[in-house]
Each structure stands twice: as C-alpha cells, then as structure tokens.
Amino acid sequence: MREMKKKSPEYTEHVLDLFAEIMHRLIIEQPLKEVGGDITHSLAQSLQFLYQHDACSVRDLAQGLSISYSAASQLTDRLVKKDLVTRNDKKCDRRLSEIRLTHEGQSFVEAIQMRRVAGMTQVLDRMDANARGALVENLECFIAAAIGDEKSALDTCTRCGREHLAECVVNEVYRAVTGMPIEEV
C-alpha cells in the first residue's frame, strides 16, 4: 500500500474522490433506488433541470445539461413516454417545442429531493454540531477557492429562481468580485 501524507495534494485528491463517491451514492443512487421505477440518472437530471426552470425548449435542456441537442431530444422522448413531461410542439420548428413537467414528473423530483435530504440528515446526525459546522464552512471555502472569479461564479450558478439563496457561497463569491449579487444579473 502506498503511503501519502495527510496534508498532501495527493491525499486531498484521494479524500475528495471518496467524498464524491459517497455523495453520488447518497444523493443519486440511493434516492433513485428508493423512489423506484426505471428512471436513470440522466433522466433524473433532466427532470431536476425542468423542475428548476419550469418550461424550456429542448435546446435549453441540452445547454443546461451540457449535452448534445439529439441527446436532449432522446431524453425528452423517453420522459414523454413515461408521462413525466409534456412536449408542446411548435409547428414551424420542433426545436422550439416547450417541455414541461407533468404532475407525476414534479412529484418524482420532490420525492427524490425528500430522500436526498433524509439521507443527508442521517449522515449529519452522526456528526457532532461542531463537525457539521466545520464541514459546511470548509466546503464553502473550497467552493469559493475553486470558483474565484465572476465568469466561473455565473457558470456555477444555475440561477434557477427556486433554490437561489442570497447567502449561497456562489452568490457571495460573485458579490465579492463584482459588488452585486447574482440575482441582479
């Protein structure tokens, strides 16, 4: 077994890999398993994007998920077949079709969110209050250092309108660099 010093970049990278893997299981795999059905991670991401942005076009979905237009179109077709979204086609140009969550799609996203919070609560409850506070503070410091500038802050922020928090670290970084909060952009 290779030895790494705890404060080295290699050890930090190792810990971050473990953290990312645990978070993937906790907030993606486990909630999808618990909610059931045959919804894949990419379908769940699409539903989450639509939940955050209300109605949008296939092009908006593709840009928001950083995937190709054809991949977004295929995801939309699969979600329509599962009655999780509706697509109102524009006769002049199908690319401008409006995609919107159905009641079932919205319920699915909310059920996933509830399970994510429940899973996170279980983990955080095993930590003492000081450790929880230090975790959040250190994650915010890491995020601020990773973002560092106005463009990266805007790229990081989904500016969804529903989950935007004035005290969000991304908003704080943007405000520190530009003097104004993201919501005014």
Q: Among residues of the chain, what percentage have pLDDT more than 90?
A: 53
| pLDDT given for residue 23 in this prediction | 93
Which two tokens mark 142?
């890491």
d(CA 97, CA 149): 35
pLDDT tens by residue, 44-96: 999 999 998 888 999 999 988 889 999 999 999 999 999 999 998 776 666 66
Which ranges in 57-147 belong to alpha helices (H)? 58-65, 69-81, 103-125, 129-147
Lowest mean pLDDT among 8-17, 84-93, 130-139, 152-161: 152-161
Q: Which residue do the tokens 């030895």 mark?
A: 3
Which tokens in the block code for residue 176?
């520190």
- Is 90 exceeded by the pLDDT of residue 27? no
Our separate counts of H helices and E strands in the chain read: 9, 2
The model carries a pTM of 0.80
Q: Is 105 exposed, middle or buried (0-12, 13-18, 19+ CB in 10 A)?
A: buried
- Model confidence at 158, pLDDT cuts 50, 70, 90, reads low
H/E element, 100: strand 98-101
